[in-house]
Amino acid sequence: MIMEILEEPSMLKRTIAEEEENIREVAHKILSKQYNMVYVTGSGTSYHAGLASQYALSTLANLTVSTIPASEFQHWIPSNILRKTLLIAISQSGESTDVLNACKAALDRGIELLAITNTPGSTLAKLATYAIFPRSGKEIAVPATKSYITQLMAIFLLSLEIAANKRQPPYIKKLRDELYNIPKLVETILKFSMEKIRKTAEKYRDKNPIFILGSGPNYATALEAALKLKETCMVFAEGFAAREFLHGPIRLVDEKTLMILLSP
């Protein structure tokens, strides 16, 4: 897992280099269809990537977007879709049963499908009208790390490409330049933070429960961080939208609790 985390900068560079043109074409096709509604679905880590994509597509591309867990998708969407609708389905393997079932429910309702999967040739990719392939390479560790990061890169590239047709170019150019700089920033974080991370882990290793708070796009990060702590450390961890934590969960905090605040 640590090895794959250290591969993230190169996988992000690869996603930009090898998928940028395809993303541009997909964005153009999505714009030409003029969808009235966009659903996003995924399971676990991919669902959290979906929440981040809802944030990006809503705030940058000005689309109407709703994210629904794949296992719940067919229970939540209308049986009769009256608006032109797109489903963005996210899956590292492209073979997740819940995601494939969500896609089939969408296709039965006449909803078109954009697959974001790290696995070309997967069942999900074959079902899709459009497909984007984040270039994370093979992920051996069970907890998704580099696949999640490359999914986010692909989603934000797509959001910027759609937004480029709706906003002033200088605004988009600044955001695009910052996005292209992400691989270098991740590399810097990994290079200079590892020793501090080790010391922090040693200091807080016996804390339980752990609460992670974030706002905006970092709400998705908080949920993903909690999932990683559950998967890898087997501790009780929960992510919350920062101010929602005040409405009940704050009563669980005592001297045994670790609070992690995501505050960029």
CA dihedral 28, 30, 31, 37 (to 10 degrees): -160
Rounded distance between C-alpha atoms, residue 135 and residue 18, angstroms: 8
Query: Cβ(8)–Cβ(190) under 8 Å?
Result: yes
pLDDT of the chain, 264 residues: tens digit per residue: 999 999 999 999 999 999 999 999 999 999 999 999 999 999 999 999 999 999 999 999 999 999 999 999 999 998 888 889 999 999 999 999 999 999 999 999 999 999 999 999 999 999 999 999 999 988 899 899 999 999 999 999 999 999 998 776 678 888 999 999 999 999 999 999 999 999 999 999 999 999 999 999 899 999 999 999 999 999 999 999 999 999 999 999 998 999 999 998
Helix (H) or strand (E) holding 89: strand 85-91
Cβ neighbours of residue 84 closer than 8 Å, sequence gap 6 or more: 33, 34, 35, 36, 37
Nearest residue to 130 (alpha-carbon basis) of 149, 111, 152: 111
Query: Cβ(54)–Cβ(65) under 8 Å?
Result: yes
Amino acid 168: pLDDT: 65
- The angle at the Cα of 94, spanning 61 to 175, to the nearest 5 degrees, equals 25
Amino acid 50: pLDDT: 97
Rounded distance between C-alpha atoms, residue 80 and residue 110, angstroms: 9
Amino acid 149: pLDDT: 96
pTM: 0.94
Amino acid 97: pLDDT: 97
First to last CA, the chain: 25
